[in-house]
Amino acid sequence: MKEHESIDFFQDFKVLMTDYLTARLKLLKIEAFEKTAKISAMLFSSLMIAILAFMLLFFLSIALGFYFGSIFNSYGTGFLIVTGLYLLILLPFIFFGKGTIEKLIVNRMIEQLMEKEEDEL
C-alpha cells in the first residue's frame, strides 16, 4: 500500500512540476514580449523625435543662413557662417562626447530592461 502511495505522489509531483514549468515558460515569454514592446516603443518615439528635431534644425539653419547672408550681402558667406557654427558645436562631441553618448544610450536601454524587475522588488 505504501508503495502505491509513493508512486502516486511522484506521478502527482511530476504533473505539478510539468504544469509549473509550462506556466513559468509562458510567463517568461510574455515578459520577453513586454520588454521587446517597451524597447520598440522607446526606439520608435526616439526616432520620431530625432526626425522632427532634424527637420526643425534643418529649416532653422536655412533661415539662419539667409539671415546672415542678408547681413553680409552674400548668401554664400551666410551659409558658411552657419556651417562654421555647426563645426564649432560638433568638434567637442567628436573629441569628448562619443563615449558619453554611447554610455547614455546603453544605460537607457538597460534601464528599460530592468524596470520590470525593480517594480517587482
Pick 10 or 85 by higher pLDDT: 85
pLDDT of 17-46, one tens digit each? 999 999 999 999 998 888 888 888 888 998
42 burial (CB, 10 Å; 0-12 / 13-18 / 19+) is middle
Task: Record the pTM.
Answer: 0.63
Say which residue, 76 or 110, is predicted with more confidence: 76
Higher pLDDT, 60 or 111: 60
Residue 74 confidence (pLDDT) above 70: yes
Please state, in angstroms and rounded to a whole number, the distance separating the CA atoms of residues 62 and 83: 11
Question: What's the mean per-residue pLDDT of the chain?
Answer: 86
